[in-house]
Amino acid sequence: MSTLEQGIQKQIADWLRSGEIELFIGYEAGTVPLQATPAFIRRPEDVGRLIWDATCENNLAVFLPRYKGKKVGIMVKGCDARAVVGLIQERQAVREDLRIVGVSCPGVVDPKKVAERLGVAVEDIEEAKVEGSQVLVDGQSLPLEEVIYDLCQACDRHNPIIFDVHLGEEIPEDPERDPFAHVREIEALSPEERWERFRQEVERCNLCYACRNACPLCYCNICFVDRTMPRWVYQTTRPEDVQFFQIMRTFHLAGRCVGCGACTRACPQGVNLRLFLDKLRKDTLELFGYDAGVDPEAKPPLTTYREDDYNDFIMG
Ligand code: SF4
Ligand code: SF4
Ligand code: SF4
């Protein structure tokens, strides 16, 4: 656990003291090893609780819609910053109301990978901490870069795109890194093989909705799965209900998902949601030249049209 840099703590305390913000959302040490927990700081004297290290996994932007209209400070990693941009675009947050501490992030630790390396269950990890580039766990030292999430190992957005105060040294992005390599593997399969891959992946889903709850862009007051008039889907773990939920959720995020990976990290069943969501991100990029979460002023492609669109449904 690393206490947040003094200069940043002071800035946050100043924002709270001056009334520029009434709440700062950051991270503090949690009770579960290798997982920091969200911290909601309202008093300048509490900023000492804030931490930053590779255990700060949650995308805190998920909390912004519920503080809409309030002046809020928030800590964001590179990927989280894109969700903040998405929320500003969708009028769920107002840039002027936010004070953003943006962190250049080398990656966050995946407790499941650590447990695998030790040959134990995640619940059996008793003592663990991140120190520099090492994870010190139950008397062993593991290189951090080997036990960060797969998404972080393929990350192309280490540095925040939006911030008022920056923390950490800028991390050079690797232009050779293909953020969609995992999607290309699936695209190379036949339609039948792709369906089988999807079927097998979502077979593990038990409809706990942790993915939806962790997603900053899943902010509907009533989710389609909870609606009863009309009822879109039955909340059973029959394959057809699970597949319908996954397909509907994925398409509801088409052109909106910023690829932060919070949903995949939150899944207790290890369902690789990135496979489906990143396919739509890749398509959106290739078909519309649109990368969600980059430009707060941009109009998402599914909410606008071009008068010179080549498709014949646009009337001249
Ligand atoms: S995806 Fe990138 S910015 Fe996000 S946690 Fe991983 S390394 Fe950090
Ligand atoms: S669907 Fe997943 S990857 Fe996309 S914005 Fe939501 S949490 Fe992030
Ligand atoms: S978090 Fe995982 S198990 Fe839960 S609903 Fe989402 S995909 Fe299914």
Ligand number, closest to the Cα atom of 53:
1
Do the beta carbons of residue 189 and residue 242 sit within 8 Å? Answer: no
CA of 52 to the centre of ligand 1 (A): 13
Q: Is the pLDDT of residue 70 over 80?
A: yes
* Mean pLDDT score, 231-235: 83
- Laid out side by side, the sheet with 140-143 consists of 128-131, 134-137, 140-143
Indicate the top mutation candidate among 271, 275, 276 to test ligand 3's pocket, ranked by most ligand atoms within 8 A of CB. 271
Confidence label for 298 from pLDDT (cuts 50, 70 and 90) = confident
Q: Is the pLDDT of residue 316 over 60?
A: no
* Mean pLDDT score, 47-52: 96
The answer to whether residue 113 is domain-embedded is: yes
* Mean pLDDT score, 84-102: 96
CA of 258 to the centre of ligand 2 (A): 6
The answer to whether residue 132 is domain-embedded is: yes
* Mean pLDDT score, 149-162: 93
Within 13 A of 261's CA, how many CA atoms are on the CB side?
A: 21
Within 13 A of 99's CA, how many CA atoms are on the CB side?
A: 22
Q: What is the DSSP code (8-state) at residue 34?
A: T
The answer to whether residue 302 is domain-embedded is: no
Residues with CB under 6 A from ligand 1: 77-79, 105, 107-108, 151-152, 155, 157-158, 261
pLDDT digits over 202-212, tens only? Answer: 999 999 999 99
CA of 55 to the centre of ligand 1 (A): 12
Q: Is the pLDDT of residue 113 over 70?
A: yes
Residue 315's pLDDT is what? 60
The answer to whether residue 115 is domain-embedded is: yes
Q: Is the pLDDT of residue 242 over 90?
A: yes
Q: How do beta strands 72-76 and 37-41 pair?
A: unpaired
Nearest CA to ligand 2 atom 8: 260
- Would you call 138 helix, strand, or coil by DSSP? coil
- pLDDT, mean over the chain: 93
Indicate the top mutation candidate among 57, 62, 217, 271 to test ligand 2's pocket, ranked by most ligand atoms within 8 A of CB. 217
* Mean pLDDT score, 236-261: 93
Nearest CA to ligand 1 atom 4: 79
The answer to whether residue 154 is domain-embedded is: no
**85 contacts: CB under 8 Å, gap ≥ 6:** 161, 162, 258, 293, 294, 295, 296
Give the CA dihedral 124, 214, 183, 119, nearest 10 degrees.
Answer: 0
**83 contacts: CB under 8 Å, gap ≥ 6:** 59, 61, 62, 76, 216, 217, 258, 260, 262, 293
Better-scored residue on pLDDT, 243 or 311: 243
CA distance 84 to 266: 19
Residue 80's pLDDT is what? 98
Give the CA dihedral 17, 19, 24, 29, nearest 10 degrees.
Answer: 20
Q: Is the CB of 62 within 6 Å of ligand 2?
A: no
CA of 235 to the centre of ligand 1 (A): 32
Looking at residue 133, its amino acid is S
* Mean pLDDT score, 256-282: 95
Confidence label for 1 from pLDDT (cuts 50, 70 and 90) = low
CA of 18 to the centre of ligand 3 (A): 42
For residue 138, the enclosing domain spans: 109-147
Of 96, 110, 55, 94, nearest to 77 (Cα)?
Answer: 55
The answer to whether residue 227 is domain-embedded is: no
Nearest CA to ligand 3 atom 7: 205
- Would you call 38 helix, strand, or coil by DSSP? strand
Q: Is the pLDDT of residue 227 over 90?
A: no
Nearest CA to ligand 3 atom 6: 211
The answer to whether residue 139 is domain-embedded is: yes
Looking at residue 228, its amino acid is T
R_g over Cα of the chain = 20
The answer to whether residue 207 is domain-embedded is: no
The answer to whether the bond into 230 is cis (omega within 30° of 0) is yes
Total structural domains within the chain: 1
| The overall pTM is greater than 0.85 | yes
Do the beta carbons of residue 82 and residue 293 sit within 8 Å? Answer: yes
Residue 106's pLDDT is what? 94
- The two tokens of residue 253 are 């995020």
- The pair phi, psi for residue 28, each rounded to 5°, is -140, 170
- Say which residue the tokens 């079927």 belong to: 199
Do the beta carbons of residue 42 and residue 23 sit within 8 Å? Answer: yes
Nearest CA to ligand 1 atom 6: 152
Residue 308's pLDDT is what? 78
Residue 148's pLDDT is what? 97
Of 65, 79, 116, 81, nearest to 220 (Cα)?
Answer: 65
- Say which residue the tokens 């995946």 belong to: 110
Ligand number, closest to the Cα atom of 90:
2
Q: Is the pLDDT of residue 36 over 60?
A: yes
- Would you call 134 helix, strand, or coil by DSSP? strand
CA 228, distance to chain mean position in Å, is 29
